[in-house]
Amino acid sequence: MKQFRLIISLFVLSIGVLCFAPTAWAFCGFYVAKADSKLYNQASQVVIARDGDRTVLTMANDFKGEVKDFAMVVPVPTVIQKEQVRVAQPKIIERLDAFSAPRLVEYFDSDPCAPQYRDRLYEAVPAPAARISGATRGDNANLGVTIEAKFNVGEYEILILSAKESGGLETWLNRNGYKIPRGAKQLLQPYIRSRMKFFVAKVNLDKFEQSGYEFLRPLQISYQSPKFMLPIRLGMMNANTAQDLIVYILSPQGQAEITNYRTVKVPSDTNIPVFVKNEFSDFYKSMFQTAYLKEDRKVAFLEYAWDMSSCDPCSAEPLNQEELKQAGVFWLDNDTNDNFLAPNIRRPFPRSSVFITRLHIRYSRDKFPEDPMFQTTSSRESFQGRYILQHPFTGELNCQASREYKRSLPKRFEQEAQTLAKLTNWNIQDIRKKMKLSLGNLNYSWWENFLAWLGL
Amino acid sequence: MLLKDTRDYQILFLGLFLVLGIGTRDWTLHPEFIAVAIAFCLSTQWLLSSVKGFWSFDNNQEQQPSINLRSALITSLGLSLLLRTDHWITMALAAVSAIASKFFLKIGDKHFFNPANFGIISALTLTSNAWVSPGQWGEEWWYCLVFVGTGGLILRKIGRWDTTVAFLGSYSLLEAIRNLWLGWTWDVYWHRLMSGSLLLFALFMVTDPRSIPNAKIGRVVWAVCIACLTFILRNYFFLSTAVFWSLFALAPLTIFLDYLWSSPRFSWLGEGRRQEAEGRRQEDDEGDEGEGGDKGEIPTHNSTRAKCAASANSTQHSSLSTLITEV
């Protein structure tokens, strides 16, 4: 029995070495590029760290206009006091974005004249990445609006309002200098009647200038509520086009998903032509749009799900403890010991770590009538949007095996072209053309083609 | 014979949903967990039936233990469709507790928990790695058609349309009132009701004729209660698994409802009662035992049940009223 265990552990170890030894054979692929949120014009980003019903919500601010015009109204489940609000570092969302973005990896074919080595690599290619296994009351009364709290945090002036009826709230906001779009009344009502409060923020210009920041920093609020949802309906009031929302859910448990819409994985782990290396952003945008249309525009896409103590391949270094705390992870203090566990070992009690789920929701009024509700599950299954470039061997080839290798290449390229066309809806002829350009050194002489035709 | 039994249709349809789900809905379903669910359901059923048969034999009742594998298979398919886990032990626990609930949690000869539902709740409460994905079916109309079509076929055969109609009717009424009061547009309402998971529950789980009340009026009252509790749990306690919890919580109400509506109110169906008893004997010959264990008990000490069963559309479907749908 002991021997058997030894064999098993050796086997596990050898897999570990194969997979995680730095760069040796690029078994898990070299990381090349990422498709982060900068791709989209108007992507809102939200970080939700949640454990039980305690939540820390960080809202990135992508406001592009004059700072003095900025105001936001967000329905929140409970009254929020000053201690529950802070201003987060903008960098933290960038870090999460970079860490979880869909990624491009590349492999290089080895010399086909060294067959054993090649076989191993070939097996390795299609394998997905290794499994590795958070008041005042005044004359507002006749409008039915109560100011539950009023305070300043950083450059923001914050009000927490509760209201009795939507008309009153709309009037109040207009009177107090908040430009509320038309039609807001109808949309505010359901939130008022579900006893939600309104988190209203605008910028204190003096403080903003003092702070020296160029952009508005993210606001982070913590609260305790069984409601695990994001109020997106208000944001759709003026929008005619689809909007992108990227939600990073950090949980001590495992993967998060949406309960009232389908959560679908983005297409992943596919081999695509090597020329995509230079246009990965275009590729990802087209691929996402194609997948979005294919799913009839009414699903949320899972782009990343991983234990945050590791990544493979890494598009950015994992966040350290301090950064995780910045991102709102509040349960780390209790279990610092567990973080010393090797990152690749599945833990029986995964509460020690942080699991990230990156959901990309492209929503529009007609297909997302209801605010998305979330739940965290205990699934620790890893997933990443990962696209593979397989470079052919470009060295000298003069052995028997090389002919077979060369013969196999056109079929492989054609397969890659078709995959790319299918994923992105790009024209297959254009793809083929581009591929030829990038594969100039693989043209065969006529006799090679002839021999290939003869099957020799 | 194949497809002679309504449960065969049910096995076929649930199997179809599994294939559809894995094929078109992008589930992270592990085939080995389906195998585990089936293996543990069938073996638990076999084991407990054998033990029970042996015990009965000891008591000098000359009966051969017959094993009801169809309903166990239905339970396992139901678990595979609904329960998500990343550990096979959790699935095994759900399967064993589902089947065991039929043998141990019963009053007289009637188990009152829906086995698959009991298994799901056991896994959710006893382990830390089980969950249910209510969003997994989305809200596409053609799925709704498939569910309504197949579910309708089975419900027509077993005569349990009333339960589904009562459940969906009252639930959608409550949701409509809420929607109207909150002031959401109606597309929010339809989005909530078109959920494939809700329909699957309404058509295949809440209608299990073996564990739900026997009398029509009892079933309607029961389904309305489940709808109300589901509504409250979902909208005021924000439980995404509200339907399963409310079915679990209200399952014991079946006993009370059976008691309540077994009164003289239905005694005028004397003819139906006789037919029911005959139908039951016929069923015994087919080997449908195991979960009920109701052989030879009807005329003696279980008149309540016979009356109730008789009232449950048995005049029209004398042999069908004894069929079992589990999910």
User: Residue B319: its pLDDT value, please?
Assistant: 32
Full DSSP string of A140-191: TGGGTEEEEEEEEETTEEEEEEEES-HHHHHHHHHHTT----TTHHHHHHHH
Task: Give contacts of B29 with chain A, Cβ < 8 Å.
Answer: none
Using the beta-carbon criterion (under 8 Å), do B240 and A381 form an inter-chain contact? Answer: no
CA distances from B271 to A352, B278, B315 (A): 65, 11, 8
Give the C-alpha separation, B226 to B232, whole Å: 10
Distance from CA of B150 to the nearest CA of A (A): 22
Contact (CB<8Å) A226/B238: yes
What distance lies between CA A340 and its chain's CA centroid? 26
Closest chain B residue to A192 measured between Cα atoms? B182
Q: What is the pLDDT of residue B2?
A: 58
Give the number of C-alpha atoms closer than 13 A to the C-alpha of residue B55, restricted to the C-beta side: 8
Is A123 in a helix, a strand, or coil?
helix
Which run of H or of E encompasses B46? helix B31-58
Q: Using the 8-state DSSP alphabet, how is residue A102 labeled?
A: -
Please provide the average confidence, as pLDDT, over all residues in chain B.
Answer: 78
Closest CA–CA distance from residue B326 to any residue of chain A (Å): 25
Q: Which residues pair with A263 in a beta bridge?
A: A300
Q: CA A230 to CA A225: how far, in whole Å?
A: 13
Q: Which residues neighbour A367 within 8 Å (Cβ) at sequence distance 6 or greater?
A: A296, A297, A298
pLDDT tens track, chain A, 456 positions: 444 443 444 333 333 333 333 222 323 345 556 677 766 656 789 999 999 999 999 998 777 677 777 788 889 999 999 999 999 988 999 999 999 999 999 888 888 887 554 443 333 333 333 333 333 445 576 788 999 999 999 889 999 999 998 888 888 888 887 777 777 888 889 999 999 999 988 888 888 888 777 778 899 999 999 999 998 888 777 667 888 899 999 999 899 999 999 999 999 999 999 999 989 999 999 999 999 999 999 999 999 999 998 888 888 888 988 999 999 999 987 554 444 444 444 444 444 489 999 999 999 888 999 999 999 999 888 999 999 999 988 888 778 888 888 888 889 999 999 999 999 999 998 998 888 755 544 555 566 556 555 654
Residues of chain B neighbouring A226 (CB-CB closer than 8 A) = 237-238
Rounded to whole angstroms, how far apart are CA atoms B114 and B98? 8
Instruction: Tell me the nearest-neighbour CA distance from B303 into chain A, angstroms.
Output: 45
Question: Contacts of residue B182 in chain A, CB cutoff 8 Å?
Answer: 189-190, 193-194
CB pairs under 8 A between A and B: 75
- Tens-digit pLDDT profile for residues B281-311: 434 333 333 333 333 333 333 333 333 333 3
B25-79 pLDDT tens trace: 877 778 899 999 999 999 999 999 888 888 766 555 544 545 678 889 999 999 9
Of B28, B128, B183, the CB nearest to A193: B183
Beta-carbon separation of A298 and B138 below 8 A: yes
Around Cβ A430, how many Cβ atoms within 10 Å?
A: 11
Distance from CA of A374 to the nearest CA of B (A): 9
What confidence score (pLDDT) does residue A398 get?
79
CB–CB of A262 and B184 under 8 A?
Answer: no
Q: Name which of A186, A261, A349 is nearest B135 (Cβ-Cβ).
A: A261
Give the list of residues 6+ apart from residue B313 with CB closer than 8 angstroms, or none.
B159, B216, B320, B321
Q: What is the mean pLDDT of residues B110-131?
A: 93
Rounded CA separation B283/B4 (Å): 12
Peptide bond before A410: cis, by omega within 30 degrees of 0? Answer: no
pLDDT for res B298: 34
In angstroms, the CA A348 to CA A333 distance is: 19
For B179, name the nearest residue in chain A, comparing CA atoms only. A190
ipTM above 0.85, yes or no: no
Distance from CA of B79 to the nearest CA of A (A): 17
List CB contacts (< 8 A) between B28 and chain A. 379, 381
Burial class (CB in 10 A: 0-12, 13-18, 19+), B24: exposed
Partnered with residue B176 across adjacent β-strands are none
Q: What is the mean pLDDT of residues B186-211?
A: 90
Under an 8 A CB cutoff, do B86 and A379 touch? yes
How far is Cα A361 from Cα A364, in angstroms, rounded to an integer?
10
Q: Determine, for residues A226 and B237 on separate chains, whether the beta-carbon distance falls below 8 Å.
A: yes
Q: What are phi and psi of B143, to 5 degrees?
A: -70, -40
Q: Which residue has the higher pLDDT, B266 or A98?
A: A98
pLDDT number for residue A10: 38
Reply yes or no on whether the pLDDT at B95 is more than 90: yes
User: Would an 8 Å CB–CB cutoff place A236 in contact with chain B?
Assistant: no
